[in-house]
């Protein structure tokens, strides 16, 4: 199977699953696609003797497309730019403190808490997992996924203020988590003499460099886009921005996610204000909303299909299931202190801490990072556990977030 055929099958499968879900299953779009893709994959494995050719086709399709590279190096820039373009900068600015603290300190705290919890879990199950690998697992699973978060929040009755905090946090902590994961990988590599000063230099280059490049190139694109009202030109300029920024940022070893977020925020903010349907901002909103929905569909199909290349999932299913409460607990504790320090004097939405904890969804980025780990027995444990956590997060948390929001709002309404 060549690459074009694989992509064609993937797109066709995404369209078919989306149609089946819309007509018959009626789950929220992305959740339904993940569920259907996972069910198809599991059935093809269970009934492999009856549908060997279909199982082989799915395996060939999944192995043909490098999930980790495709997401991290190609799709992520488009998805983050599209998400940042839709964010209201004034709303984000009003919630800047909690967003910044939860997106940085919260990720580090969650990484530490999850790492030690997972170390205890592996020891209890007689799995010899080094602490540094537990920390790497914590770093890749702690950041909330902006793609999964955005897909679910659009269909949840969540208060606007909390939605802004969760969205902003997911855009920031993604880049922070990637830097932390890369640093821990270098610490774990016996061939690399890694020092604390190296970590600080890496952080400065990735974070400061990524944001600076995103703002600089985003401003150049803004000036060019502002000078025209032609739909085709506006769209091509935005596409060029995302693609050139990704290539250039990678070349200088800065953070692509943070660069794309910075560029999207700047462009969306600078072009905001006009309600004209023929304005550059309206053009960008329509085009990038379509790109966002299409890539989301393909990404969640890919997530559902990943189970077919996880032959060790059944071997580590127990530790994967036990990691679920650990992930939720680490998330809750890691945001509790920043949350209480920031909000203790402010009027709060009932159950804000519970909503923020449960809305911290994980997605394809965590799986992509787990797949990028060097081959070892530890990678199998992490990868299988990571898939369980992501599947629970997207399906379990995604389906129940709306109910949680409604349930915590009811006592207040009754009291009023």
Q: Give the pLDDT confidence score for residue 227 in this predicted structure.
A: 92
Q: What is the mean pLDDT of each run of 10 residues along the chain (416 residues)?
A: 88 95 91 92 72 79 89 92 90 87 92 96 93 96 90 84 90 86 84 72 86 96 93 96 95 92 94 78 93 93 87 80 96 83 57 90 93 88 94 94 83 51
8 A C-beta contact, residue 111 and residue 352? no
Q: Give the pLDDT confidence score for residue 247 in this predicted structure.
A: 95
8 A C-beta contact, residue 205 and residue 253? yes
Could you tell me the residue ranges of all domains in the chain? 67-409
Angle at 110 between CA 304 and CA 149, to 5 degrees: 40
Distance CA(371)–CA(306), nearest Å, equals 10
Burial class (CB in 10 A: 0-12, 13-18, 19+), 353: middle
Just give the CATH number of 67-409. Answer: 1.20.1530.20
Distance CA(347)–CA(106), nearest Å, equals 22
Q: Rounded to 5 degrees, what are φ and ψ at 318?
A: -60, -50
Q: Give the pLDDT confidence score for residue 416 in this predicted structure.
A: 47
Both tokens of 413, joined, read 């309404």
Both tokens of 315, joined, read 């071997």
CA atoms within 13 A on the CB side of 120: 8
């Amino acid at each position: 199977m060549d690459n074009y055929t694989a992509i064609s099958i993937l797109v066709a499968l995404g369209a078919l699953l989306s149609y089946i879900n819309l007509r018959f299953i009626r789950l929220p779009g992305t959740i339904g696609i993940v569920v259907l893709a996972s069910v198809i994959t599991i059935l093809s494995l269970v009934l492999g003797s009856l549908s060997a050719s279909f199982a082989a086709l799915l395996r060939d399709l999944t192995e043909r497309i490098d999930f980790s590279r495709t997401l991290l190096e190609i799709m992520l820039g488009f998805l983050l730019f599209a998400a940042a373009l839709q964010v209201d900068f004034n709303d984000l600015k009003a919630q800047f403190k909690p967003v910044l603290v939860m997106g940085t300190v919260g990720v580090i705290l969650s990484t530490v808490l999850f790492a030690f919890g997972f170390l205890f879990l592996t020891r209890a199950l007689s799995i010899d997992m080094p602490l540094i690998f537990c920390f790497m697992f914590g770093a890749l699973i702690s950041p909330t996924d902006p793609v999964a978060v955005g897909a679910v929040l659009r269909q949840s009755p969540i208060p606007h203020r909390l939605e802004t905090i969760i969205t902003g946090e997911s855009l920031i902590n993604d880049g922070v988590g990637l830097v932390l994961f890369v640093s821990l990988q270098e610490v774990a590599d016996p061939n690399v003499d890694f020092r604390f000063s190296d970590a600080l230099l890496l952080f400065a280059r990735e974070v400061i460099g990524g944001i600076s490049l995103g703002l600089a190139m985003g401003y150049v694109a803004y000036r060019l886009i502002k000078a025209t009202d032609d739909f085709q030109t506006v769209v091509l300029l935005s596409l060029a921005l995302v693609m050139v920024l990704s290539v250039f940022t990678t070349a200088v070893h800065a953070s692509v996610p943070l660069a794309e977020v910075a560029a999207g925020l700047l462009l969306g903010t600078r072009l905001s204000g006009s309600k004209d349907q023929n304005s550059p901002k309206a053009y960008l909103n329509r085009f990038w909303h379509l790109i966002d929905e299409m890539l989301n569909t393909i990404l969640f199909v890919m997530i559902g299909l990943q189970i077919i290349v996880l032959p060790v999932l059944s071997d580590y299913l127990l530790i994967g299931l036990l990691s679920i409460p650990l992930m939720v607990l680490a998330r809750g504790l890691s945001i509790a202190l920043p949350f209480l320090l920031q909000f203790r004097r402010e009027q709060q939405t009932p159950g804000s801490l519970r909503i923020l904890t449960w809305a911290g969804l994980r997605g394809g980025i965590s799986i992509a990072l787990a797949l990028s780990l060097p081959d070892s027995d530890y990678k199998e444990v992490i990868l299988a556990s990571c898939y369980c956590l992501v599947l629970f997060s997207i399906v379990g948390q995604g389906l129940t977030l709306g109910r949680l929001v409604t349930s915590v709002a009811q006592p207040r309404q009754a009291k009023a």
